[in-house]
Structure 1
Amino acid sequence: MALPHFMSISTNIPTNIDPQTGNTRLPHTATMPTTQKWNMSQALTLNSNPSTQQNLKTEYANFTDELHIKHAKKLNEVKHSFSKVGEDPLEGLAMIDAVQRLGIDYHFHEKIDEVLQRHYTKINTHTCVDNYDDLYEVSLRFRLLRQEGYYVTAGVFNKFKGKDGMFKEKLKQDIKGLMGLYEASQLRIEQEDVLDDAANFSSHILSSWVKHLDHHHQGRNIIRSTLTNPYHKSLARFMVKNFIKDFNGINGQGNVLQELAEMDFKLVQSIHQREILQVSQWWDNLGLAKELKFARDQPLKWHMWSMAILTNSSFSEQRSELTKPISLIYIIDDIFDVHGTLDELTLFTEAVNRWDIAALEHLPDCMKISFKALYDTTNEIGYKIYKKHGRNPTESLRKAWATLCNAFLVEAKWFASGHSPKAEEYLKNGVVSSGVHVVLVHVFFLLGHGLTNESANLVNDIPELMHSVATILRLWDDLGSAKDENQEGHDGSYVEYYMKEHQGCSVELAQQHVHNMISDAWKRLNKECLHPNTFPASFKIATLNVARMVPLMYSYDNNHHLTDLEEQVKQMLYGSVSL
């Protein structure tokens, strides 16, 4: 079966354009329409209304049965097409790239692995010689294999360098290849100089194209989107709307994939709407919002974490459960950050370490209520996991919460004493106080994949897989733009402490240093996701998704609002993708 060109957006990018004139047309990139002001609080209020809840339940029951039937039929069509992928090496790679970008790859894990295993075998046996000089194909193969955990040497890109060690001049005209090279460079690990060079070279040339092309040029947005949202560091589900419009505009023959993506989006959307009802009801019943007026009240925002981390439509129950500890992380953070005295916080931390409600006797009501919610919620989640997977994780969950509160207390003591820690001392503790470890321990046990004594013990110790993600979150949080619209606390900042240690260092230089540290953390994370690894693929994907969500969750505008996140919530819960 010959694969039509629409199977990959990049294959339709012309390889030769004059940067001075920009005459050659590129495929159209549709942008999000301008909409009226909308925010997550309004959405939560709407979903909390009893009549709205009943209407959503009725609509869900009425349309999902029919949609499920149509979806199943279309899914079989695509699987049939996938099974007939021909001998052309690029054909299978382009198909994988398409289903991943359309957010429907979770339906095709076995077929994707079969195709990539075939490519990996050819590389290892030195029989992969097809289009070895084609930068785009080499880049695409490299990226897809590394994304699935296969180690491919970065040396495959040395062929595209000249004798001077620089990437060849002729590549500057290969827009498709440069985009593929930039995407591939996002999978680099430490000490891969050729991929560092590839990232710098491709980003510089592609940025030059963006500057030279007319603002109304059809291809300008595609190049810019690649630079700002490379696939490996983006959440495909959040990018589907833009991609599917490009996909449709490239070639109308791709209807079968487009239709499946649209149906899948609607099904997942209906599941998310139902989850929001469940989370809203749980949060209202918990009663913390009424009792703790000083704390944040953002269950929809917190559930966005779960939606981003666990993208498979079959993980609905896990998403709803995951939102519970995420919510409690924010609440306990507010207790430490804006409310409790040091003596109270010390007693609260001791109670969490002892896991003893009786230890709360001399604490204020807000702490008693919060610990009771933490205690009950953790035990309930532990029991559900035990019933489903046969392993009781409560001890691991309890230890994770104790570790988090210990880190919160360290920061509270610093503030109370006026102590200014060294930047690295702050970061070491900040990795723990980020809450990432608590989230990922819950993810690990909720998924229930690869539950062995070795892996269960490993998650308790914050392994590098978790540590690198926590570093990314902590440093992003400290870049200066993360000022929560509903939080007035006394947080420290790596940038602040770094500048105190390096007298004369400007804010800009300190922030660049942090960006470099984030880049290094991504390299370590990429390495941890390669085979062999103790953790199952589903958990590694979830871990990557935490890192991918961080920029969206911590990029506040000048009004301290998460405008981009709010737009994504609106799209995922109430928007549509159309052919």
Structure 2
Amino acid sequence: MTSLIYYKYSSSRPKSNCFFVTRHINDMAFLEAHTASPNCAIVDFHFHHAQKLKELKDAVANVGEDEQLIAFDAMQHLGLDHHFREEIEAFLQKQYHARAYDNCNHQLFEVSLHFRLLRQQGYHVTTDVFNKFKNIEDLTSRLLDKDIEGLVGLYEASHLSFQGEDALDEAGKLSHQILTAWLPNNLDDHRAPLVAHSLKHPYHKSLTRFMAKNFLNYFQGTEKWASVLQELAKIELNVVESIIRNEILQISKWWKELGLTKELNFVRDQPIKWYTWPMACLTDPSLSEERVELTKSISLVYIIDDIFDVHGTLDELILFTAAVERWDLDATDELPDYMKISFKALYDITNETSDRLYKRHGWNPIESLKKSWAILCKAFLLEAQWFRCGHLPNAEDYLKNGVISTGVPAVLTHAFFILGQGITQQAIDIVDNINTPGIISSTATILRLWDDFGSAKDENQNGYDGSYIQCYVNEHDGCSDEDARAYVVQKISDEWKRLNQECFSSNPFSESFTKLALNVARMVPMMYDYNTQHRLPSLEENMKSLLFDSFLAQGSPGQTI
């Protein structure tokens, strides 16, 4: 078996061959200019890609099961697993029925990796497999035995815990504690970068779209499949980069032609930032149309949010909400001009989306989409009534409404129909239900709590606002802001366990939709991590790396640049 968890971290990272991004990620002119830059040429990799993909499939098919387990995990880290869906499913099904995770000869790394891959694939595997590793004495002895890989594997596996799996939670905390103490005294150890990266970016809570290139920079292996995997990953990253640049041009063109910022000078002008949601959350390269379509829906959420949070009076907001419920362009005379413009954009874009989806999938989702917008506007209106009248609701009522006002239920309703997979009456009834299904509500709750947890806000948002922390402190006598924040951190952790259970247990949704919901939750910390300059440094840095630290500049085997 490949040593050190199938790959090895090198002591130095390759330096970037591209320039540093100094402007905002939402600076459309900047991104458009560099999307068309001759320094980032679009090369036709399709033939070489197909050749390397076949070579990798052949290589992986001819190695042992232990090596396959490691190879498939590496593919997931690199975002190549969509090419191996059938192979991965067949392999894990065989591993599950053979109960291979029970026969790992007390190797913590192998048990952890089996558990993580099986659970995230939806197999029922209990935490009993960790019984022999869960006490502090055993974990400490593994540190003394230098089983760093095993401790990292356990820490990674602990992020997939469900509610009630306290033993796995505790083992994860202990492994985190031990690795954190080990790291400062072992910075020269070749495993130190692996430990540091895992502690900061555990795989299950991270986005493959942003982590893949970092993973590849450190990836090493002597087996044939490992070298072929590296080559294929570089080609795929270049293909993905070209796709993203093309999608940015499409979104920029659509937004300019829409012209809303000229007529509505109070709305945010951030189409590229909005695009980063579907770009990072719908990672299959073939879903280009879906990413562009979903960006349009997301832009509407931000526009409507600005109407309610920044610009509209209460009387106007009541009229606008009623207009959205009626869904009739001919019944908008009572609206002020800026709301007529906004409603027409909402009406036209939603109906155009519905028409396209009907032609593509044979199901017209207009009733569900209309309902999602009406529910969102009602939630926005309730918040406006609360905070403009100086009323602070209790924390439970605030959060119940806040789950809707995140826009997540509306966006995921659109995404469900845009993806067009698993559209059954049962699934539609669940999506349409006013009691938001768990897979959506947990994602929305994570977003709401993270958003309220932050101290800095979006640079272009200076309207009325509230927060769960504020409501919680007001409701609990003697509760400090610090106490409330600690409570929110634990609540986010608990919500992640609920989301894990929803996604990795039987549900009526497609794999693509489930992965999307998980990725939205993973994206949240990056999208709400504003600094004191109202910037999103983590998002900016990741987008810089994704679009400008190109492997095209470095070259790839078998390619002519």
* Normalised-by-shorter TM-score class: over 0.9
Structure 1 position 167, deviation (Å):
4.7
- The 8 Å contact of residues 210 and 220 in structure 1, kept in 2 or not, is answered as yes
Opposite residue 474 of structure 1, the aligned amino acid is R
Superposed displacement of residue 103, structure 1: 1.6
The more displaced of 35-44 and 501-510 is 35-44
TM-score (norm 1): 0.90
Q: Contact 2:443–2:517 (CA<8 Å) still a contact in 1?
A: yes
SS in 2 for 1:302: helix
Structure 2 residue matching 1:559: 3-state secondary structure: coil
How much has 1:166 moved relative to structure 2? 6.4
Superposed displacement of residue 106, structure 1: 1.1
| Structure 1 counterpart of 2:432 | 460
Q: Quote the offset at 1:531 in angstroms.
A: 3.4
2:241 is matched with which residue? 269
Q: Who is 1:499 aligned against?
A: 473
Q: Which runs of 4+ in 1 moved over 6 A?
A: 52-58
Q: Is 1:169 aligned with 2:167? A: no
1:398 alignment partner, SS class: helix
- What is the aligned length? 547
| Equivalent of 2:97 in 105, 121, 129 | 121
Q: Among 295, 303, 311, which residue is 1:331 paired with?
A: 303
Q: Deviations over 1:380-400 (max 9, x none)?
A: 111111001100001101101
Partner of 1:563: 537
Cα deviation, residue 4, structure 1: 4.3
1:45 corresponds to which residue? 29
Structure 1 pair 502–307 and aligned structure 2 pair: CA distance change class (3 A): same
| Corresponding residue number in structure 1 for 2:559 | none
Higher alpha-carbon deviation: 463-472 or 39-48: 39-48
Paired residue for 1:203, among 176, 185, 188?
176
The AA in structure 2 aligned to 1:195 is L
SS in 2 for 1:492: coil
Shift in CA distance, 6/104, structure 1 to aligned 2, threshold 3 Å: farther
Q: Counterpart of 2:461 in structure 1: which amino acid?
A: Q
Q: Distance in 1 between matches of 2:26 and 2:503?
A: 38
Shift of 1:497: 1.0
Q: Give CA deviations for 1:471-517 in whole Å, capped at 9, x if unaligned.
A: 00000001024511221122100111111112332222211110100
Q: Matches of residues 135-174 of structure 1 in structure 2 within 5 Å? A: 135-161=108-134, 167-173=138-144, 174=147
What is the deviation of 1:48?
Answer: 4.3
Query: Which segment drifts farther, 454-463 or 135-144?
Result: 454-463
Gap change, CA 1:532 and 1:42, over 3 Å in 2? closer
Going from structure 1 to structure 2, the CA distance change for 1:291 and 1:251 (only over 3 Å counts) comes to farther
For residue 294 of structure 1, give the secondary structure of its aligned residue in structure 2: coil
Going from structure 1 to structure 2, the CA distance change for 1:42 and 1:506 (only over 3 Å counts) comes to: closer
Q: CA deviation at 1:79?
A: 1.2
Contact in 1 for aligned 2:527/2:539 (Cα 8 Å): yes
- Contact 2:163/2:498 (<8 A) preserved: yes
User: Is the 8 Å Cα contact of residues 179 and 202 (structure 1) preserved in structure 2?
Assistant: yes
2:47 alignment partner in structure 1: 69
Q: C-alpha deviations, 1:39-88, integer Å up to 9, x for none? A: 24575204546xx777779954xx22xx11111111111111222232x4
- Aligned-partner residue type, residue 217 of structure 2: K
Q: What's 1:100 paired with?
A: 76
Equivalent position SS for 1:297: coil
Q: Work out whether residues 6 and 247 of structure 1, in 8 Å CA contact, stay in contact via their aligned partners in 2.
A: no
**Cα displacement (A) at 1:37:** 4.6
Contact 2:101 2:114 in 1 (8 A): no
Please name the residue that 1:17 is paired with.
Answer: none
Deviation at 1:220, TM superposition (A): 2.9
Change (3 A) 1:537 1:166: farther
TM-score, with length taken from structure 2 = 0.93
Aligned to 2:209: 237
Q: 1:533 aligns to what?
A: 507
Q: Distance in 2 between matches of 1:535 and 1:97?
A: 24
Counterparts of 2:504 and 2:41, CA distance in 1: 43
Q: Is the 8 A contact 1:407 1:430 kept in 2?
A: yes
CA contact (8 A) 2:127 2:168 kept: yes
| Residues in 2 aligned to 1:37 and 1:532: alpha-carbon distance in whole angstroms | 43
- Hey, what does 1:469 align to over in structure 2? 443
SS in 1 for 2:287: helix
Matches within 5 A, 1:100-499: 100-123=76-99, 129-161=102-134, 167-173=138-144, 174-214=147-187, 218-248=190-220, 251=222, 254-461=226-433, 462-499=436-473
Structure 1 counterpart of 2:403, which letter?
A: V
**Match of 1:78, as an amino acid?**
L
Identity value in percent? 50
Distance 2:322 2:261 in 1: 24
How far apart are the structure 2 equivalents of 1:509 and 1:212? 33
Displacement after TM superposition at 1:30 (Å): 2.8
2:6 pairs with 8, 12, 15, which one?
8
Query: Cα distance, 1:574 vs. partner?
Result: 2.6
Partner of 2:525: 551
Alpha-carbon distance between aligned partners in 1 of 2:464 and 2:400, rounded to the nearest angstrom: 18
1:84 pairs, out of 37, 62, 69, with 62
Is the Cα contact below 8 Å between 2:503 and 2:514 reproduced in 1?
yes
Q: Amino acid of the residue matched to residue 322 of structure 1?
A: L
Shift of the alpha carbon at 1:184? Answer: 0.3
Contact between 1:31 and 1:242, CA under 8 Å: does it hold in 2?
no
CA-based RMSD of the aligned residues comes to 2.3
CA shift in 2, pair 1:541/1:170, >3 Å: same
Following superposition, the deviation at residue 222 of structure 1 comes to 2.0
Amino acid at match of 2:428: A
Which amino acid in the other structure matches residue 99 of structure 1? M
> Any unmatched runs of 5+ in structure 2?
557-561
CA distance in 2, matches of 1:377, 1:534: 28
Q: 1-side partners of 2:67 and 2:458: how far apart? A: 46
**Structure 1: distance between partners of 2:493 and 2:237:** 32
The answer as to whether partners of 1:29 and 1:218 remain within 8 angstroms in 2 is: no
Deviation at 1:363?
1.8
Deviations 1:166-192, CA, capped at 9 Å, x for gaps: 654312332111100010000000001
Structure 2 contact 450–528 (Cα < 8 Å) conserved = yes
| Distance (Å, rounded) in 2 between the aligned partners of 1:151 and 1:530 | 8
Aligned residues of 1:485 and 1:560 also touching (Cα < 8 A): yes
Decide whether aligned partners of structure 1 residues 358 and 482 sit closer, same or farther in structure 2, where only a CA change above 3 A counts.
farther
Residues 528-577 of structure 1 deviation map (CA, whole Å, 9 limit, x = unaligned):
11232111111101110100111111111121100110112222223224
Q: 1:538 to 1:357 in 2, by over 3 A?
A: same
User: Alpha carbons of 1:29 and 1:427: their partners in 2 closer, same or farther (altered >3 Å)?
Assistant: farther
Q: Do the aligned residues in 2 keep the contact of 1:40 with 1:300 (CA within 8 Å)?
A: no
